[in-house]
């Protein structure tokens, strides 16, 4: 049995919590640090230092939610742009988590991000999956980690690339100068993105984007790296793209598909483009 799974059962904490303290070196096996994937052996001496967990006074907030699908295990929500997924410094009260606590009974009290399986940036709209309890969250988080979920986005990008489709496999890590940003770096984490041009306009194009990994700001970084930043992205845009007015990055998560680990059904969820992106494209002259 993996040590993160073993500790979760023994100390009654979530597997993600156990994985974090293992990575921080707070778990010693036979006086040595190990990885979360280490398999426990008979006779192992395990020493665990449990840090005091961050306690947030999570307050329910009556924020309307657009529920696409609901069953006993999870919800699929169409998150609007401008809504943070979970509380963080500067915004503890007006997030998706606060809305979930108001509208639903999320049995995930041991986590500061109850129900959250994966994330979307604040100004990215679209589909997000939320678990109804800790056990479901852990199982479905593993599904995302093992890349068993198909995720597709619509992006409005600046430029007129020569290619119609491109596969990007450049590693992503912290920007060497601006540590608040991510960048394509040699020693970063492997990231894979496929970008397909759907429609071309004057130095702007609509793209279908499929991600095979889930790195922070992955699509925004890869588009910027190609010289085709997403319209409205003030962090990763360039001088020319930033002259085009759009109130947020034009990125919309429109497709999620996976095999449900509980019912064994193939689940496919697909929604239309957001209204603000539709209106923006409607104002442009098409080239094709």
Tokens of 237: 């845009």
At residue 205, the 3 state secondary structure works out as strand
Question: How far is Cα 45 from Cα 36, in angstroms, rounded to an integer?
Answer: 16
CB 194 within 8 A of CB 166: yes
* Degrees, nearest 5: CA angle 56-60-17: 35
Among residues 108, 111, 121, 123, which one is catalytic? Answer: 121
Handedness of CA 152, 156, 158, 162 (dihedral sign): positive
Distances (CA, A) of 271 to 63, 152, 234: 21, 11, 26
Backbone angles phi, psi at 84, to 5 degrees: -70, 150
Q: Is there a catalytic annotation at residue 178?
A: no
Tokens of 105: 């009974």
Residues assigned a catalytic role: 121
């Amino acid at each position: 049995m993996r040590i993160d799974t073993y500790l979760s059962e023994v100390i009654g904490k979530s597997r993600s919590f156990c994985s974090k303290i293992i990575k921080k070196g707070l778990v010693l096996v036979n006086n040595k640090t190990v990885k979360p994937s280490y398999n426990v052996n008979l006779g192992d001496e395990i020493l665990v230092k449990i840090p005091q967990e961050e306690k947030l006074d999570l307050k329910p907030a009556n924020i309307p939610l657009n529920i696409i699908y609901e069953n006993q295990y999870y919800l699929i929500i169409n998150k609007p742009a401008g809504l943070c997924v979970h509380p963080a410094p500067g915004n503890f009260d007006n997030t998706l988590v606060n809305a979930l606590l108001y509208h639903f009974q999320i049995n995930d009290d041991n986590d500061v991000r109850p129900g959250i399986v994966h994330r979307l940036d604040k100004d990215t709209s679209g589909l997000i999956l939320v678990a109804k309890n800790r056990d479901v969250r852990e199982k479905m988080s593993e599904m995302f980690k093992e890349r068993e979920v198909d995720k597709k986005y619509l992006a409005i990008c600046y430029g007129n690339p020569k290619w119609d489709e491109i596969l990007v496999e450049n590693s992503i890590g912290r920007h060497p100068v601006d540590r608040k940003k991510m960048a394509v770096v040699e020693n970063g984490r492997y990231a894979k993105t496929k970008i397909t041009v759907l429609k071309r306009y004057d130095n702007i194009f609509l793209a279908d984007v499929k991600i095979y990994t889930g790195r922070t700001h992955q699509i925004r970084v890869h588009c910027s790296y190609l010289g085709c930043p997403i319209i409205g992205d003030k962090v990763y845009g360039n001088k020319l793209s930033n002259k085009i007015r759009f109130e947020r990055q034009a990125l919309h998560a429109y497709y999620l598909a996976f095999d449900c680990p509980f019912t064994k059904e193939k689940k496919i969820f697909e929604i239309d483009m957001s209204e603000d992106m539709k209106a923006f494209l409607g104002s442009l002259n098409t080239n094709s």
